[in-house]
């Protein structure tokens, strides 16, 4: 009964559109939260809240229609995320949560959003088959191949996107680590304490590594033990070079070793590790070039070189 699939397909398309709208309106919701905080702070300080926030000072102002609709869509997506978390196997949920944390999106909202998006993409496969079967002009083998390709993209697209985000973030951390280690060494040898040097280095270099160091400083200032904060930073990044660097800092903290000598040796080691990593990537390049060379370049080259000869042989010998 293909006609019975139309309502389900329409509902799933509406939900997917709602996911896009939630992405677009996230910045506006953050701005509204900031304005509410400013209004509350101004009320405590005795200043006009309207002068700071740029809104009317009348209390309990009603929310306009578009914002109410977006809040309803957000609640709907949250419900879909909770449903997806319930029906998803715990092993996959733990793996997705870990990869989201490595990608810098470790909030529970991000986890529910990813699971909701994953559920929507999987649920769109059946309406996609019905659409290709009924509304598409292609038939037969072409329709089957198109369905297999689109189903493959819908099933594995979110996974590939998340893995790409994780590898890109880890590569950027690996690239920024030598510069941050050298800045730390110079700052400590100049007379700054480790926390002050780390704060200065985090503000000098922009990137996920400095964001993680800033989070580490915040956890330490809130009362967390330094070793526990370093281990938490290691779990959020999972980079081998950074793991060695953090464990050296933790050992220096535990055994009372001079932090300056540790930073000097670690700065040298991270530079050498970065050089070895670049050499490894350069040695992998010929292997990665082999497949496009064999399947894309060489067939075209054979057609250009052997094509005229094959045509002449066909004309002279066969005809």
Residue ranges per domain, the chain? 2-51+64-135, 174-275
Residue 298, pLDDT above cutoff 80 = yes
Mean pLDDT of 253-267: 86
Centre a 10 Å sphere on the Cβ of residue 84 and count the other Cβ atoms it contains: 21
Please report, rounded to a whole number, the percentage of residues in the chain having pLDDT higher than 90: 23
Quote the pLDDT of residue 319. 63
Which CA distances in Å does 216 have to 41, 199, 311? 27, 10, 70
Mean pLDDT of the region 272-289: 89
- pLDDT > 50? residue 102: yes
Residue 164 has pLDDT above 80, yes or no: yes
| 98-126 mean pLDDT | 86
> Above 60 in pLDDT, residue 248?
yes
User: Rounded to whole angstroms, how far apart are CA atoms 297 and 293?
Assistant: 5
Q: How far apart (Å, rounded) are the C-alpha atoms in residues 50 and 247?
A: 51
**What single DSSP character describes residue 1?**
-
Query: Taking the CB of residue 159, how many other CB atoms lie within 10 A of it?
Result: 14
pLDDT band at 72 (very low <50, low <70, confident <90, very high): low
Region 37-57: what's the mean pLDDT? 38
pLDDT at 115: 87
Mean pLDDT, rounded, for 32-37: 43
Is the distance from CB of 114 to CB of 100 less than 8 angstroms? yes
The CATH topology of domain 174-275 is Receptor-associated Protein (1.20.81)
**What Å distances lie between residue 2 and 6, 62, 120, 126, 128, CA to CA?**
7, 44, 20, 10, 11
Residue 41: pLDDT over 50: no
Which residue do the tokens 């110079």 mark?
Answer: 186
Total-model pTM: 0.69
- Kindly indicate the confidence band of residue 219, based on its pLDDT and cuts at 50, 70 and 90: very high
pLDDT greater than 50 at residue 32: no
Measured between alpha carbons, how far is 261 from 242 in angstroms, rounded to an integer? 17
Query: What's the rounded mean pLDDT across residues 252-258?
Result: 82
User: Three-class SS of residue 294?
Assistant: helix
- Confidence at residue 17, expressed as pLDDT on a 0 to 100 scale: 52
Question: Six-digit token pair at 229?
Answer: 């904060």
CB-count exposure of residue 288 (10 Å: 0-12, 13-18, 19+): exposed
pLDDT score of 253 more than 70: yes
With a cut of 90, say whether residue 53 has pLDDT above it. no
Residue in the block written with tokens 């904060």:
229
Contact (Cβ atoms closer than 8 angstroms) between residue 245 and residue 274: no
The answer to whether residues 75 and 18 touch, using CB atoms and an 8 Å cutoff, is: no
Is pLDDT of 141 > 70?
A: yes
pLDDT average, residue stretch 265-278: 90
Categorize the per-residue pLDDT at 83 as very low, low, confident or very high, splitting at 50, 70 and 90.
confident
Highest mean pLDDT among 52-66, 94-108, 161-175, 281-295: 161-175
What pLDDT does residue 67 have?
59
- Looking at every residue in the chain, the average pLDDT score rounds to 77
Distance CA 273, CA 55 (A): 54
- List the end-to-end C-alpha distance of the chain, in Å, as a whole number: 55
Taken in order 63, 66, 69, 71, the sign of the CA dihedral is negative
Rounded to whole angstroms, how far apart are CA atoms 291 and 61? 62
Cα angle, residue 207 at apex, residues 22 and 221 outer, rounded to 5°: 90
Residue 59 has pLDDT above 60, yes or no: no
Answer yes or no: are the C-beta atoms of 91 and 101 closer than 8 Å: no
Q: Exposed, middle or buried by CB within 10 Å (0-12, 13-18, 19+), for 126?
A: middle
pLDDT of 31 over the 50 cut? no
What is the structure's pLDDT at 46? 40
Helices (H), the chain: 5-45, 49-53, 65-87, 90-102, 108-123, 125-134, 141-189, 194-204, 208-221, 226-237, 240-255, 259-292, 298-313
149 pLDDT above the threshold of 60: yes
Q: Tell me what pLDDT residue 239 has.
A: 92
Cα–Cα distance list, 233 to 30, 130, 218, 298 (Å): 26, 47, 12, 47
Q: Indicate if the pLDDT at residue 5 is higher than 50.
A: no
């Amino acid at each position: 009964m293909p006609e019975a699939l139309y309502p389900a397909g329409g509902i799933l398309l509406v939900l997917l559109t709602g996911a896009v709208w939630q992405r677009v309106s996230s910045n506006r919701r953050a701005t509204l939260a900031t304005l509410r905080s400013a209004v509350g702070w101004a009320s405590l300080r005795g200043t006009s809240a309207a002068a700071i926030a740029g809104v009317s000072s009348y209390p309990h102002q009603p929310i306009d229609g578009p914002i109410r609709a977006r809040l309803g869509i957000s609640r709907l997506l949250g419900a879909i995320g909770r449903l997806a978390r319930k029906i998803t196997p715990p092993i996959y949920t733990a793996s997705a949560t870990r990869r989201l944390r490595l990608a810098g999106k470790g909030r529970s909202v991000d986890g529910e959003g990813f699971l909701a998006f994953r559920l929507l993409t999987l649920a769109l496969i059946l309406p996609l088959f019905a659409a290709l079967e009924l509304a598409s002009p292609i038939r037969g083998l072409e329709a089957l191949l198109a369905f297999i390709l689109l189903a493959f993209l819908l099933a594995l697209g979110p996974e590939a996107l998340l893995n790409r985000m994780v590898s890109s973030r880890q590569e950027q951390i690996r690239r920024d680590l030598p510069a941050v280690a050298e800045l730390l060494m110079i700052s400590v040898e100049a007379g700054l304490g480790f926390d002050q040097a780390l704060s200065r280095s985090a503000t000098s270099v922009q990137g996920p590594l400095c964001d993680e160091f800033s989070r580490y400083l915040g956890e330490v200032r809130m009362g967390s033990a330094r070793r526990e904060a370093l281990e938490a930073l290691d779990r959020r990044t999972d980079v081998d070079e950074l793991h060695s660097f953090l464990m050296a800092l933790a050992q220096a903290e535990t055994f009372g070793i001079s932090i300056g000598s540790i930073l000097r040796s670690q700065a040298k080691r991270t530079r050498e590790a970065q050089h070895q990593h670049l050499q490894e990537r350069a040695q992998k390049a010929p292997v990665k070039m082999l497949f496009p060379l064999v399947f894309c370049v060489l067939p075209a080259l054979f057609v250009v070189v052997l094509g005229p000869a094959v045509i002449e042989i066909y004309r002279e010998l066969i005809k």
